[in-house]
Amino acid sequence: MIPPINQNLVGPYVSFLLPCFNESEVLIEMHRRVKDVGEKLAKTYEIVFVNDGSTDDTLLKMIELSEKDPMLVVVDLSRNHGHQLALSAGLQCCAGERVLVLDADLQDPPELLPQMLELMDQGADVVFAQRRTRLGDAPLKRFACAVFYRLLQKLSDTAIPLDTGDFRLMSRRVVDQVLRMPERHRFIRGMVSWVGYRQVPFFYDREKRFAGETKYPFFRLLALALDGIASSSTKPLMLASYAGGLFAFLCLGFIGYAMYSLFFVGQTPQGWTSLMIVVTLMGSVQLFVLGIVGQYLGRIHEQVRGRPIFIIRDIVRGRSVS
Ligand code: UDP
Ligand code: MG
């Protein structure tokens, strides 16, 4: 369990949570736009920036901003922990009654908050932003994501909404439940779906990144997808055993054929091609099944080591200019 850091304080009405990894180019504009939304709310708010081990001057800019903005909280992680853990660290530090999670690059427009708040006023505990279009992303990425979300929906034990990232508004009780989950391979959108309560979609068009490069190159995206599947479902293990069963059955047929050839046809030396096919096929099926088992085993190993899932180096609270 990750205990909330601010549990004894009376929190603001809403927290904006933005994980940032090398977002120096977008930081100032993003802060301006988020702050603008906060000021127009006529409610109390805080802006929580998580610096996920940036190697550029993201942290420096955050600290500079915090010297003039009392609503800002800068959470500095000890190194790059990855998006999902940066989000978890941020959730731990948010004190708001409602928490809006959004990407730092302005692909998720903060200006949509009032409409999302309205849906929450009508009784929702989670308002998740579902992408109607995502023209800001490359076509190949859009295709890969579309396939992944559909596969995940088939495999997952709880319904995970399609085409939905981490852009969502959550109530305090949902945030507290997510913080109670101790897993180290965190797929936040799956975990939030698992919590339940009333979750409603909010459709939006995903914009282009304001500046800078995506922090999710192919292999990071693949790792997130594997975490998503492994943390939401054990069906791949079932699939592995079905594959084992199917190939054992095929093997029986092949053994029968080999015996028949030996005893009744008497022509056994031939058959190099079929032998090679069987050996390579069985080899690859075994490795495939072993790979699936390995994915789960590695995660169990990391979980039982019981290390802290992230380390916060420092928390800097904003000050007002005097
Ligand atoms: N991010 C992070 N740590 C990482 C990678 C990404 O905190 O190791 C943040 C990043 O700064 C951004 C969000 O996660 O605010 C989403 O990343 P990005 O926009 O690059 O992903 P994309 O929208 O391209 O999928
Ligand atoms: Mg982005």
User: Quick one: how far is CA 67 from the chain centroid?
Assistant: 31
For residue 137, give the ligand nearest its CA. Answer: 1
User: Rounded distance, CA 316 to CA 314, Å?
Assistant: 6
4 lies in a domain?
Answer: no
Question: Considering only CA atoms, which of 202, 204, 201, 176 is closest in space to residue 191?
Answer: 176
Q: Whose CA is nearest to atom 17 of ligand 1?
A: 215
Q: What is the pLDDT of residues 18-73, one digit of tens each?
A: 999 999 999 999 999 999 999 999 899 999 999 999 999 999 999 999 999 999 99
Whether 26 and 141 map to the same domain: the answer is: yes
Strand-pair category, 126-133 with 199-205: parallel
Q: What is the pLDDT of residues 206-245, one digit of tens each?
A: 887 777 788 877 788 788 888 888 888 888 888 888 888 8
For the Cβ of 104 lying below 6 angstroms from any atom of ligand 1, the answer is: yes
User: Rounded distance, CA 319 to CA 67, Å?
Assistant: 5
Q: What is the pLDDT of residues 167-176, one digit of tens each?
A: 999 999 999 9
For the Cβ of 21 lying below 6 angstroms from any atom of ligand 1, the answer is: yes
For the Cβ of 20 lying below 6 angstroms from any atom of ligand 1, the answer is: yes
24 lies in a domain?
Answer: yes
* % of the chain surpassing 90 pLDDT: 51
Whether 95 and 141 map to the same domain: the answer is: yes
Q: What is the pLDDT of residue 260?
A: 81
Q: Which span out of 177-181, 212-216, 263-267 was modeled with the highest average pLDDT?
A: 177-181
pTM: 0.83
User: Pick the residue with more confidence: 318 or 90?
Assistant: 90
322 lies in a domain?
Answer: no
User: What's the domain range around 76?
Assistant: 14-215+312-317
For the Cβ of 189 lying below 6 angstroms from any atom of ligand 1, the answer is: no
User: Rounded distance, CA 101 to CA 30, Å?
Assistant: 13
Whether 110 and 254 map to the same domain: the answer is: no
315 Cα: distance to centroid of ligand 1 (angstroms): 20
Residue with tokens 């690859």: 284
Secondary structure element (H or E) that encloses residue 31, with its range: helix 24-40
Q: What is the pLDDT of residue 237?
A: 86
Could you tell me the CATH number of the domain that includes residue 110? 3.90.550.10
